[in-house]
Amino acid sequence: MMSTATLPSPRPGTLKRLVERYPFLPALVIAFVLLALNGLYQPRSVSFTGITGLTKTYLALMMLAIAQTYVVYAGDIDLSAGAIVSLVNVVIVVMMEKMGGTGFSVAAALVVGLLTGLACGIVNGIVVAALRLQAIVATFATSIFFTGLALYVMPVAGTPAPATFWRTYGGRFFDIPFVYFAVVLLAIVLYVLARTRLATQLLAVGDDAQAAFQSGLPVTKIRIQGYALCGLFAALAAFCITGDTASGDPLVGGKMTLFSVAAVVLGGSALSGGFGTVVGSIIGALIIGLINSLVFFVGTPSEWQNLVQGLAILVALMAGVLVGRRARA
């Protein structure tokens, strides 16, 4: 008679294996449903022009969701990500304006913008990982500091960005919208990052920081590097939003922080760390964009739009989390 110990364990179902391998699958299904509903109410929204406009508008949120993902990997969170977007936005616009708006000034401003985002990320990393303050409290405090800096650089919104910059972002090369070149470059960068040791180490720290430390990983340094990556991608988000709005605004990133956190969760990442993908976060940001478009297309009165958007995001969030949890159970 075969003992219980020798009985073969049941093989997990196909759906479970798929969700374990691709945790963003529930979000992908929700995105396709929302895309179909957008097309039902406004057929032009699913045309090439409509998809290009959606990508151009929400590429900044996708960048910020990626930024948030790298700190969530390690079990941290960054509530200053939106403030970094605001700070980099006003820094590059003011610098471009002061230097005459030439091609050289645009390139120089972008380099300074990247360094600004990187510096903000390192500050967050030192405060959270090295000084061991609670991430949610520390980054909330630095968000106020970064917003104050942005208001110092540009007290009033509305300074226009040079035409060289926003015409490039909204323009075409070889009859292909520039935004798709940005998407391809982003995909290459993410592919390379996914194959670095840092991505694996961030997940290991998020899964079990104590075990990671005991196995010899420099946990503090890894967490700081995660925040540095977050700052860099927040700067890239600022470039996108500057190209889309063609102006500087010291408060432009205010609402984006919580949207980026929602996008990460919608994409299947665990806020406790150790589990998730940047692809899922990008799809999560796309879901938020599609919900916002759908609310507009169905003719929701302006005074109800925030309420409906919030409820729709909450429903999508619950559906994604429940389906993912049920499939993995």
Please tell me the predicted confidence (pLDDT) of residue 307.
86
Please tell me the predicted confidence (pLDDT) of residue 205.
92
Please tell me the predicted confidence (pLDDT) of residue 6.
46
Q: Where are the beta strands (DSSP E) in 146-202?
A: 172-173, 176-177
Give dist(CA 170, CA 182) in Å, integer: 11
Please tell me the predicted confidence (pLDDT) of residue 11.
58
Please tell me the predicted confidence (pLDDT) of residue 4.
42
- 62: CB partners within 8 A, 6+ apart: 263, 281, 282, 285, 286
Beta bridge partners of 16: none
Give dist(CA 87, CA 21) in Å, integer: 37
Please tell me the predicted confidence (pLDDT) of residue 323.
66
Mean pLDDT in order along the chain per 10 residues (329 residues): 45 69 84 91 87 90 94 92 96 91 88 96 95 92 95 90 87 89 94 91 90 90 95 96 92 90 88 86 92 86 82 79 64
Give dist(CA 74, CA 266) in Å, integer: 18
Please tell me the predicted confidence (pLDDT) of residue 158.
83
Please tell me the predicted confidence (pLDDT) of residue 308.
84
Residues comprising the chain, all counted: 329
